[in-house]
Amino acid sequence: MNIYRNLNEITKYIDDNLENEINYEVLAKMLGVNVYKTQRLFTMIAGISLSDYIRKRRLSTAGFDLYKGNQKIIDIAVKYQYDNATSFSRAFEKFHGIKPSLVNRETKLKNFPKIIFNEDIKITTELDYEIITLDEMNLYGISIKTNNEKIGHDAPIFFKETQNKYKSTYGKIKYGMITYDINREKSKKYYCLYDKKIAEFEHIIIPKSKWLRFKINSRDAKDIQEISHRFYEEFLPSTKYNLKEIPELEYYHDDVTDFLVAIY
C-alpha cells in the first residue's frame, strides 16, 4: 500500500464532496484502517487535523462563491454543511477576516489549497518494537491544557516543574500521557502520572490491552518526540495495526522511555 497515494485519494474525495456530508468511515475504507487511525495518520502526516482541513477547504470555496455574488449567504451556508447563517458567518469571518455580507469584487480573501502528497516518498529505516499485554493500570496525576502546536514545548516544561515540585514527596514521575479532543485529532491535555494512589491527584484508569512498545534509550523530550513522529509518519502507514482509543503512554524507567501505543 502506498499511503501517500491513498491520502491523495482522500483529499480528492473531500474536494469532490465539499457540498455533501463527508463520512469518515468512507475515508477510513480508502486507507483500509479504522476511523481513529485515519484521523491520527492524516493529522501527523498533513500537519493539520482532518476536520480542520475539511473546514478550511469549504470556507475557501465559499469565499469564491460569495465573490461571484450570485448566491445568498444562507444558501452558501447550507451548501457547505453549516446549520445556519450565523454559525457560517462566524466561521467565515474568523478564516477570511471579513464578514460574508461585506464581500465584494474588491475583497481580499484567503485560500487554503488542496493538499497533494508526494507519492514517491520511500521509508527505508527500521523501527524496532514489541507487542506486549499490560493489565489494567490505576494511575494518578496532574495535567495542563495544550494543543498540537504547543505540546512539544509545553510537555517538557510541565514535566520538569512537576518533577521538581513533587519528587521529594511522591518520587519520580512514572508516565506521561497526552489526551485528545472528541474527534481524536487535536491534543487536549498532557499528564504527568504516578503509579501510586495520591488523593489530591486525578485518578486515571488505563484498561487492560495489547500495546506496541518502542524502547527509547533516553528520557530526553526531543528523542521521545522523534520516535512519536516516526511512529505516525513512517511506521503506522505501513502496518495493519488498528489503534485503540486509548491515549499513548510514555513510561519512564531505568534511564529509558517506553513509548506505548494501544492496539486491537
Q: CATH code at 21?
A: 1.10.10.60
139, 249: one domain = yes
Q: What is the pLDDT of residues 17-61, one digit of tens each?
A: 999 999 999 999 998 888 888 888 898 888 888 999 999 999 999
135, 94: one domain = no
Residue 36 inside a domain? The answer is yes
The mean predicted confidence, pLDDT, of the chain is: 89
Domains held by the chain: number: 2
Residue 119 inside a domain? The answer is no
Which grid coordinates belong to 42?
A: 492524516
Closest CA to 20 of 61, 48, 67, 73: 61
Residue 34 inside a domain? The answer is yes
Which grid coordinates belong to 211?
A: 500495546
Residue 141 inside a domain? The answer is yes
- Residue 230 CA to residue 245 CA, distance in Å, equals 20
What is the domain range of residue 162? 130-263
- Given CA atoms 71, 72, 75, 81 in this order, what sign does their dihedral have? positive
Say what the pLDDT of residue 237 is.
74
Which residues is 194 bridged to in the sheet?
A: 140
Burial 6-17 (b: 16+ CB within 10 A, else e): bbbebbeebeee
Residue 257 inside a domain? The answer is yes
The last residue of one of the domains, among 86, 102, 118, is 102
72, 181: one domain = no
Secondary structure string (H, E, C) spanning the chain: CCHHHHHHHHHHHHHHCCCCCCCHHHHHHHHCCCHHHHHHHHHHHHCCCHHHHHHHHHHHHHHHHHHHCCCCHHHHHHHCCCCCHHHHHHHHHHHHCCCHHHCCCCCCCCCCCCCCCCCCCCCCCCCCCEEEEECCEEEEEEEEECCCCCHHHHHHHHHHHHHHHHHHHHCCCCEEEEEECCCCCCEEEEEEEECCCCCCCEEEEECCEEEEEEEECCCCHHHHHHHHHHHHHHHHHHCCCCECCCCCEEEEECCEEEEEEEEC
Say what the pLDDT of residue 242 is.
82
- Residue 135's contacts (CB-CB under 8 Å, 6 or more residues apart) are 208
Q: What is the pLDDT of residues 50-108, one digit of tens each?
A: 999 999 999 999 998 888 877 899 999 999 999 999 999 999 999 999 999 888 867 78
Residue 13 inside a domain? The answer is yes
Q: Do the beta carbons of residue 183 and residue 51 sit within 8 Å?
A: yes
Q: Mean pLDDT across the stretch 1-16?
A: 90
Which residues is 256 bridged to in the sheet?
A: 253
Q: What is the pTM of this model?
A: 0.69
The last residue of one of the domains, among 84, 102, 120, is 102
175, 249: one domain = yes
Q: Output the domain CATH number for residue 216.
A: 3.20.80.10
Whether the predicted pLDDT of 183 surpasses 60? no
85, 174: one domain = no
91, 136: one domain = no
98, 134: one domain = no
Which residues is 249 bridged to in the sheet?
A: 177, 260
